[in-house]
Each structure stands twice: as C-alpha cells, then as structure tokens.
Structure 1
C-alpha cells in the first residue's frame, strides 16, 4: 500500500558555504543538530532557532562523512579522504586521529557500548575501534571487497554494519567476533542502517530500491524487505522514529519516505528533485532533519505520520 506521507516542512536552512555538500547528520548533546559538509571539509551546527555555524577543519579536502555523538560529549566523524577520525566539541574545537594502514577509507561511525568509537574501513574491509585517547584496534571482516559502510550500536550490545558489496549485514561484538547475515535479494547493496526501539535493524538497499528490516531475535536473523514505489530511487540513509517506523532518503528521486513494520510505504517529494538528500536524523523533540547535498538542511514535522 502506498499513499502520500503526512509530513510537513517546517524549515529550510541553507549552509553559508556554497557547494559545501551537507551529507550526514547527528543530534548533539547540546540540543543542536550537527552536519558534515563533505565537499568543504567543514562541520556545521544547526541550532534549534535556525542559526547555522560552520567550523573549518584542518584540511578542506578531508571529506568529512558520517558523524555521531560520542561518549565524551563531543561529536565524532570519519574523514574519508584523508583517512582520519575527527572530533569536534560543542564549542567548535577540533582535532583528528590518524588511522593505521594505507588509505583505509573510514566511513561509518558509532559510539560503542564499551566507551570507544567504532568505524568501518571501506578499503581494508575491516571494523576499527578507537578509544578516546587515540588507541586503535582493527578487526578484519570475512572475505574481500565487502565494502563495510554504515555502522550502528544495537540494543543487543553488539555493533552491526552493512556490507555493501557482500549484500549482507554483519554483527560484531566488542571482542571482535563477527557473524554475517546474507540478504535474500541479489544486488541489494545495503548502505544506511539504524536500530529500532524494539531491537530490530532497518537498512536501505540502494541497489534493489528496498528498505529491509532484520530481527536479530529471529532464526538466523529474520529479514523482511519492503519494495519502494520506484525501484531506481536509490535509498541511502535511514532513521527510526520514536514510533518504530523507518524513514529514509531517496537521493535519485529527491524524496524522503516512511516504512512501517506492516509494510505501509509513504513518500514526500522535496522541493528540488535534484537536491540529493543523504543523511537524516531525529532531534530530541522528534523533528526530522534531512541533509540535502545541494546545500540545504530541511526540518520536518512527522507528528501526523506518527499519529496516523
């Protein structure tokens, strides 16, 4: 069943630096939403009153990618192009940590249940662990060319990541034990990943035009896939609302959408079909924020969707 989503635009904010490329979002401990500006080597802070502050990093070409709130009250992010992990405090002070190996390509990042930061390395097919004082441990994934992408800490106390080129989702414990959950659809190419309040994991299948849901408590990790109205929409990132529904960005069609556990799919067209929406995140008040690579961060009221 597909209907129009009852989500309402309540604000649109253009980042000051033209061509900066808003990419990923995270709710900060200060009540603001933080955004990576992938093309400008900057981090942006969007305050609840709509003010945007930008903080330049030490390299404009570092490629800040995904971002997460850390266990220390700061924001941590991957620097995909210069192979470092960055840290920014809520008052804008920055530093970074070099990673071992030749061009590991850090991308996904999450605060682990052990007080460390965990990240995916696209090019070395591994998961890394970084302590707040800079100590790095790496855990190789099975196979080669798996392209580990997004990473999340789940309610089961483990970390999970999408393996874009292995068409699987992987679970890794804080001691480095890895288990793979292959997906049922060939060419699924999972990317975005988020944990639901019921312990489930939602992910975007960018290659198949579907949203998937994995129940870790089911036999061998039961997977349900929900086809989207346009199989070529290229869903990228996901975020789970307080009501348990999954929201996603579809960057090829310039839309955001919502999928419920019982398979109801609803979508909203953004003002510019070519805006390339990527990251999205819920703020503490339940407002949905969407990063549009064309230059805007938009805010959405999804209360009607929750109630409906």
Structure 2
C-alpha cells in the first residue's frame, strides 16, 4: 500500500495540507489504497489558521512507490533541518516522488532537488523562489509542474490539482475524475492553466464604472458587445469607455471579453467538448479563431492585439 508522508513545518497552511490529503484519502475510499502519515520535527505543529496539528516525529520506512508532500507555510520559518532535507534527497534518489505545495517548493530547493529542474509556486512568491534557487527553472503562472519525480504546485487549491494529477498518473484519468467528483471539484485543471482567473486578475482596481462594465461583459461574454452598447450601459461615450477600461485593467473591453471566452473554452475542452462545440458555446463562429487564439504564447491578449475580426470571425 503506497504511503503519502506529509512533512509539516510551523505556520503551515491548513489547506495546503488538507487539500492533497483529501485527494489521497478519497482515492483510498474509491479502491486505490493509500496510507497517510504526518511527520514533523516537533510533536505538534501550529497552522497559520490557528489549528494545532499532532504529528509523528519518527519517519516511517519509505519505498520508491511512496510520496513525500511538503505543504507550504507563511513567514520566515526555515523549512526543516539538514537531516530532514537529506531525507527528501534520499527518497528521490531511491526512485521516490517528492512534491512541494506553494512555499513547500523552497524546502525542495534547499534539499537541492530543484537544481536544473522546472518548478513552480504561488504567483506571489515566484520571484523569491527564483532568487533563492537560481539553478532552478521557475515556470511562471502554472498550476503545477512535474520534472523527474519532483512535483511543485501553486498552493492553496492548486495543491488539489497537483494531487489529482498524481492520482491520474498512478491510476489513470478515470480514478482522478472519480476522486474529483466525490470531492465536488468541478474539474481537474491542467498544470498549464493560469493560476489567476481573468475574472479576478483584472479586478484589483477601484474604478466603479469599469467594475460595472466587467460585470456586464462577464454576464454576456458569449454575445457580441459593441462599444456602443457598453457606452449606453454606463452613460459614457465610447471613447471614455475605452480610456477608463484600459487605464484600470491594461486591456480593451474586447481583449477582456476574449480572455473570458478563452478561459471558458478551455474548461469545456478539458471536460471533453470538441473544439467546434467549445468555440460556438463561448461566442466564436467556428473553431478556427479559438485554435488561433489558444495557440498564442501566454494566451492573454493585450490591448493592441485585439480586433473585432478576431473576436467575431
């Protein structure tokens, strides 16, 4: 029976532990056996959220089929002692898999496991991870990355995606899908999915007029929304709509609508829809425009790249 060992450090994030643990526990319930173990250098570990977790201080014997998961934490806590980091290295050297959730990637880096490998972490600390571990290739804005049995994820809910990925790799996509359904996770997101949805990415401004415009576009993103309609909805001129929207978000209204369409189309494709069905569901005339836009690096359209021809072929 494969074992999943969670290495906990002080001020660990509760969901970074609970999310992946729930995935493997659910997989176990569905007939894919796992034993979950929680270890730390002290018998109790306080989470950032205030809950104190009781742990083992003695490590179990590990086999190559076993998995070590290092959940993320908050603050300047050093991840683990030299002896604990050596355990991570030894497990990987013996053929085992080691995963880091969010800041847990730093522990893997301190163990030397990120050198020469691709990895990721939460978007707020990606630059810090790259600074601390310059020999690692930090992939920006990815949900999770696997490179030579080293798995790193964005953290928080991204840890669930990484765990589902590991279940799929070991037991097949159907097993991961069954676990996701049992957990009421709407979908198993691909590792290359953006960490921050367009619904949230451009919402940090304080312009209420633009927020109203975004509400309208989000509600009717599959429709043709000419500037005239947006201007009438806000009582502004078309030129003012474009100026306010671009100043607040860095995008034109059309580019924002296209980003929403691409995100929704991606969800549909991951759930088995054909390109033609997904394209028509989000407002494109056919699959050609969808394929063209999805093939662009980064997939995010900037203001100068958007045209009515692309959005409404």
Q: TM-score category by the smaller chain?
A: under 0.3
Larger RCO, structures 1/2 (Cα 8 Å, 6+ apart): 1
- Tell me which protein shows more strand as a share of its residues: 1
The structure having more radius of gyration, on CA atoms, is: 2
- TM-score when scaled to structure 1? 0.25
